[in-house]
Structure 1
Amino acid sequence: MIMYRGKDDSEAGKKTQNIVLKLLEPYVLKGHHVFMDNFYNSVELSQKLLDLQTHSCGTLRKNRKLNPRALMYQKVKKGEHYWWRKGQIYVSVWKDKRPVHMISTRDHPKLIEVANRHGKMSTKPTEVINYNSFMGE
């Protein structure tokens, strides 16, 4: 475990990225897939992990550096899904009750029909389904 102790000026905002890379050291270059929440995730971190043969998926804060600005501030209606690609990195926005920003290096963003816990059918992006399925395990 490595505790985040706040921003360090010497690392210019890269502390959370360095924590993730340090924690994953034993697992990189083995084809694993890591799921993260928006506190850690960024386009830059996803690229570094991809370079280390490690896929990533998770929620994304819309004000992160290198995010596609047009997509982050896209007006989205309920059920709409938009995505952007740079190499193998996919950034998407989908609106359920509120806009959900996601990043994934494994799943091509597409809508899939799924049943909720009450059996009602709806469509969700693959990246959201996988994140919900694996986050917390």
Structure 2
Amino acid sequence: MLLYPGKNFQDTSQELGEKIVMELCDKYLDVGRKVITDNYYTGVLLAIQLLDRGTHLLGTLRKNRKGLPVEVTIAKLIKREVVGKESKTGFVVGKRMDKRQVHMFRIDKT
């Protein structure tokens, strides 16, 4: 458990979500584990930080996160249709339509 002590908790080098995940996972990093997050925490910068520590990230994603491929975020899908794209840096962003759109993110070493 990690208690939020207020404004002083956040430094300028990391977003709040990134800092929380990195602190909570600290003793599990560097051994090849996978971290699964929901859309509040999932993002490209967190994924890169985790990958630098030998940890992979998988999670749902908010479509307005920085660094996502525009082709995926703006794609109009019908029910059960899926679209995805892999970047040169090794992360994959996908979107699936069911009752609503769900954005997904995965990063691995290539």
> Shorter-chain TM-score: which interval?
0.7 to 0.9
Query: Per chain length, whose mean CA-contact separation is higher, i.e. which structure has more relative contact order (CA < 8 Å, sep 6+)?
Result: 2
Cross-structure match for 2:82: 81
Distance 1:13 1:63, change over 3 A: farther
**TM-score of the two chains, using structure 2 as the length reference:** 0.83
- Three-state SS of the structure 1 residue aligned to 2:26 is coil
CA-CA distance at 1:70 after TM superposition: 2.5
**TM-score of the two chains, using structure 1 as the length reference:** 0.68
Distance 1:30 1:12, change over 3 A: closer
CA distance in 2 between partners of 1:4 and 1:73 (Å)? 35
Runs of at least 4 residues off by over 3 Å: 3-10
| CA offsets 1:40-91 (integer angstroms, 9 cap, x no match) | 0001211211121101111000111112223112111111111111222111
Cross-structure match for 1:19: 20
CA distance in 1 between partners of 2:75 and 2:12 (Å)? 31
CA-CA distance at 1:35 after TM superposition: 0.7
Cross-structure match for 1:97: 99
Q: For 1:42-61, what aligned pairs fall within 5 Å after superposition?
A: 42-61=43-62
1:68 aligns with 2:92: no
Unmatched 5+ stretches in structure 2: none
Q: Which amino acid aligns with 2:41?
A: Y
Q: For 1:116-131, what aligned pairs fall within 5 Å after superposition?
A: none
Unmatched 5+ stretches in structure 1: 107-137
Q: CA RMSD in A?
A: 2.2
